Amino acid sequence: MIINSGNSLIASSQPTNTTLAVTVESLPPMTVNFSSVGSVEVGQSLTITCTVTTVERLVVTPMVTFIKMNDTDMEILSNLNRPYSITTDDTSSVTNYTLILDPVRFEDAGMYTCMAEFNVTGFNNTNDPSTATYDYQEDSDTFNLTVDCKL
């Protein structure tokens, strides 16, 4: 019980017993897929699309990371480094993340990984407030790019 007394609040609690049944459910798995060609010439443009499929009612957008690996190093790709362009196209449960290499350089050859992950707490897939989902999911797909140098 809270009593407002002038400029102060006085709080008092009395012991109570409450039981609430909560159903914990897992989300259906999300999937990640690449759709692109595997070989391109230096100077051409290449669009690599990573499609992430999730639950339609999911209110949390997956965190998607493009990673490039070659024989010597690993690089996390973003709009901040190199002339990479990463865009999204979101329609219900399917989101396309597009990585654009323009122009392609010889050093762009390597294995590309699209990794998607999300952490959901409190997702309610029904109108029943006692049903909630607590889930963490991760999925990835790889794409090998060969860059040819035309002589």
Complete domains list, the chain, with CATH: 28-144 (2.60.40.10)
User: Given this model, what pLDDT does residue 2 score?
Assistant: 45
Mean of pLDDT values over 41-64: 77
Q: SS3 sequence, the chain?
A: CEEEECCEEEECCCCCCCCCCCEEECCCCCEEEEECCCEEECCCCEEEEEEEECCCCCCCCCEEEEEEECCCCEEEECCCCCCEEEEEEEECCEEEEEEEECCCCHHHCEEEEEEEEEEEEEECCCCCCCEEEEEEEEEEEEEEEEEECCC
- pLDDT tens string 101-147: 888 888 888 888 888 887 665 545 555 555 555 566 777 778 787 78
Angle value at C-alpha 138, between 113 and 71, nearest 5 degrees: 25
Q: Is the pLDDT of residue 3 over 70?
A: no
Q: How confident is the model at residue 151 (pLDDT cuts 50, 70, 90)?
A: low
Q: What is the pLDDT of residue 20?
A: 61
Min mean pLDDT across 37-41, 47-51, 101-105 is at: 37-41
Report the pLDDT value the prediction gives residue 117, as an integer from 0 to 100: 81
Q: How far apart are CA 135 and CA 40, in angstroms?
A: 39
- Is 5 a residue whose pLDDT tops 60? no
pLDDT at position 1 is 44
Q: Is the peptide bond before 103 cis (omega within 30 degrees of 0)?
A: yes
Q: Quick: pLDDT tens for 53-104.
A: 776 665 666 778 888 887 888 888 876 566 566 777 776 677 788 888 888 8
pLDDT, residue 130, reads 53
Q: Please report, in angstroms and rounded to a whole number, the separation of the first and last CA atoms in the chain.
A: 83
- 23 or 76, which is more confident: 76
Residues 117, 36: Cα–Cα separation, whole Å: 22
